[in-house]
Structure 1
Amino acid sequence: MSTSPLKESVIPKLPPPTPASLLDPPSPRTHRALRRLQSAHSLGQSNSQPSLISQQHKQAIQANQTTSDNSSIPQHSRGRSNSDATNMMPPNLGAAGRRPITSRRPVAADALSLDRLIRDGPPDGDLVGALESVRLKVLGQGIKSDTDGMSSLRIYVWLILLNGPVLNTDDYLSLIHRGASPAYSKIRNDTFRTLKKDPLFKRRVSEASIIRLLNAVAWKLHDAKEERAENLRQLTGGNISEASSPELSTPSRSRNRALTLTTEGSDAGGSEPSIYVQGMNVIAAPFLYAARSETEAFAAFYRLITNECPGYVRSAMDGVHKGLALVDKVLAIVDPKLSMYLIGKGMSAKIYAFASVTTLCACTPPLPQVLRVWDFLFAYGVHLNLLCIVAQLVILRNSILSSPSPTKILRQFPPITAETVIEVTLSIVKKIPDDVFAEIVTHAK
């Protein structure tokens, strides 16, 4: 095996464990401080320093100006949910391609708590350092939550790490008021099964909320498909026949086609984005559980599936199948004996890991632990979910090797323990050659 240049990198020294009193505060229902925030995008009060998102907005604007005086920083005077900005993340600041093992210089943001850093924004305007500090705090200290996994801060951290898009609440409501989407019947066939065995989820999230969110997402994806078809029609002058390009049919026929869309992609090519595929309901579930409004959950969920893992929601789910092949490849690198044993039993990743890849491990209880795993994934890249799956196999290694029928063990993965899975995942990262890691990073695109 070739040696990876990053193989000798050092895992950052993490601060000592936070006292249990900080990790398990009372239910966030007793905390009213962040309830004054009007949306996930207004993360600071008007009389405080601009928030981290506001700093991103300011830097994106200043990057397009040719002025030599950057000393004055305008205050963000309106809630982000009403902003007209589009992409506020400066280039090369995303988590994609990032290995969660690095050496770095201390920055001023390190001295602030995660709560204060999110609320007040980066000290000294150091956006890059503040984002890296947020990632390290998420990795080392975690996001404070109660025993049910509830946190008044988590959804804001997620939106920042995902660079969540600007969304006016009225825009979400307009999607809701359009009624049943073309994928409505398929959505209704799945929503009642969403985490049905999880009492915490059922107590907090109604099926109606899941239906509304997925239906709104389906409309937004449907509109994007119609826009692409219209753009293509204009580029070709409308000369492409309907037989060769069904997307360019008349509006009435296009509507009829949309009403018959299926997750199998029977009416579209394998690379054609679908407006709903099986598993999207489970991915949406943690967002609805963690968010303080459906609008926040919609913004984060839509950003995830369209930017981080669009290959998972295409008709042919090609990103999922690439991910399953990479789980087999990574397991063979990390633990050849375990890999050969499973292959000898006829158990490739597509047999036992399909649900875990498709849902980013959200199908494995308990939900509070899944939220902690997602904190890590959003901080350092959703692609690392593949390594989290391999980590669960490594944790179960002895049980699998001693079982004549490992199918019984892996039919439903045992309850996940976030800290252990993340720790093993970090150890696995160092063993992956750079070329394989590059495949992992891009598999879901």
Structure 2
Amino acid sequence: MAKDTLIQINQINQLNSIRKKYNELLKYGNEHPQTVQQNLEQLRKRILLDGLPPESEQEIEERKNGVNKCSLRGLVWKVLLGIKDVSADKYIELVKKGASKQYQKIRKDIGRTFMKDSQFSQIVSQDQLSRCLNAFAHDCPELGYVQGMNVICGAFLYVLPEIDAYYCFSTFTTQSCHLYLDAKITGVHTATNLLDLILEFVDPELYEYLKTRNYHPYLFTQPILSLGTATPPLDEVLHLWDFYFAFGIHLNVICTISQLLMMRDVLLQHQSPCSLFRSLPEIDSKTILNISIHIIRQLPDYLYDLLVVHPVDQIDLSSIIGSTPLTTNTL
């Protein structure tokens, strides 16, 4: 048997073994709901150690054919987001309301959602995206629709059947990152300021160089707002989302910094490094997560605590920004 074939068989066996472990965890959780916290901890540990395996060919075909069945990743996301039951009747009623007040904005944005990803267009239709986003605007008028919701909702539809995707999107948006998606994207602006503070802390040399080259943290508004989906490939972004749902969406900021550190040598040699931020290199989730874990271990508790709450609580960074550089000792 050829060497390449043996390697391929070994990889398949490893993925099947990982998939089996997740299925066993999910089964145990369903049979022992009284130990929900312990079950979640085991699931998070597994994600940290092994990651989630990519969708199988069968799962991809089922999604393309509109089969109303959750993939392994979909099932894990629902558990991590606390989605126990979904109401088809409620969703249908919301859809029956038709176009929302934000319909024109939604219609404009859905045509640009992952437009360069051919597999996305095979799995998610514009009609599905339109239904979900208009339903949410009816169901949650205080948030309604802002640009950026389209790619977040699109990613959920890429992984989950429509009704499950809607409830995951709605729960995630309203409970985990509502300040990212309010009318002023307040949480995103806070996130870019936190990114600025953390970048200065973890790599002062790179930070100082960028400051001499027209750097401003708002350059990262789009990567932060899109939760990484602005940078392909989508399948790699989903691995980052596994991490976010397991440990918190605030890690979006850390992973964005990790992408910068991966570009470090190029940035330090470039005369206009900030021009490179318009299109970040393709996502390499494994490397990004490894660097991110290293950054997290370095951060002072005070700064990390601010990072954790910023997607849902308004925080005042005025006492930190522009002050003496952060060190572990001072915090």
TM-score exceeds 0.5: yes
Structure-to-structure mapping, 1:301-312, within 5 angstroms: 301-312=169-180
Structure-to-structure mapping, 1:45-444, within 5 angstroms: 113-121=21-29, 125-146=34-55, 150=60, 152-164=71-83, 166-222=85-141, 273-291=142-160, 293-351=161-219, 353-444=220-311
Structure 1 residue 408: Cα displacement: 3.3
Q: How far apart in 2 are the matches of 1:191 and 1:363?
A: 14
Q: How far apart in 2 are the matches of 1:24 and 1:408?
A: 39
**Which has the higher mean CA deviation after the structures are superposed, 149-158 or 135-144?**
149-158
Counterpart for residue 3 of structure 2: none
| Inter-CA distance 427–409: structure 2 relative to 1 (3 Å threshold) | same
**Does structure 1 retain, via aligned residues, the 8 Å contact 2:110–2:129?**
yes
| Bigger relative contact order, structure 1 or 2 (CA pairs below 8 A, ≥6 apart) | 1
Q: How far apart in 2 are the matches of 1:22 and 1:307?
A: 38
Structure 1 residue 208: Cα displacement: 1.1
Residue segments in structure 2 that go unaligned for 5+ positions in a row: 1-8, 61-69, 313-331
Aligned partner of residue 356 in structure 1, secondary structure? helix
**Does structure 2 retain, via aligned residues, the 8 Å contact 1:23–1:146?**
no
Q: How far apart in 1 are the matches of 2:167 and 2:139?
A: 11
Q: How far apart in 2 are the matches of 1:132 and 1:197?
A: 37
Structure 1 residue 122: Cα displacement: 6.5
Q: How far apart in 2 are the matches of 1:194 and 1:367?
A: 11
Q: How far apart in 2 are the matches of 1:323 and 1:214?
A: 24
**One-letter code aligned to 1:116:** E
Which protein has the bigger helix share? 2
Structure 1 residue 406: Cα displacement: 1.2
Aligned partner of residue 276 in structure 2, secondary structure? helix
Give the aligned length: 291
Identity %: 34
Structure 1 residue 137: Cα displacement: 0.7
Counterpart for residue 234 of structure 1: none
| Inter-CA distance 405–24: structure 2 relative to 1 (3 Å threshold) | farther
Counterpart for residue 243 of structure 1: none
Greater Cα radius of gyration, structure 1 or 2? 1
Q: How far apart in 2 are the matches of 1:388 and 1:146?
A: 23
Q: How far apart in 2 are the matches of 1:303 and 1:22?
A: 35
Structure 1 residue 189: Cα displacement: 1.3
Q: How far apart in 1 are the matches of 2:135 and 2:38?
A: 36
Q: How far apart in 2 are the matches of 1:360 and 1:335?
A: 22
Aligned partner of residue 235 in structure 2, secondary structure? helix
**Does structure 2 retain, via aligned residues, the 8 Å contact 1:23–1:145?**
no
TM-score after normalising by structure 1: 0.62
Q: How far apart in 2 are the matches of 1:305 and 1:343?
A: 33
Q: How far apart in 1 are the matches of 2:258 and 2:124?
A: 30
| Inter-CA distance 22–376: structure 2 relative to 1 (3 Å threshold) | farther
Structure 1 residue 180: Cα displacement: 0.7
Structure 1 residue 202: Cα displacement: 1.4
TM-score after normalising by structure 2: 0.83
Q: How far apart in 2 are the matches of 1:23 and 1:335?
A: 37
Q: CA RMSD in A?
A: 2.1
Q: How far apart in 1 are the matches of 2:15 and 2:207?
A: 38
User: Deviations for 1:89-129, whole angstroms, at most 9, x for unmatched residues?
Assistant: xxxxxxxxxxxxxxxxxxxxx9x811121134267653322
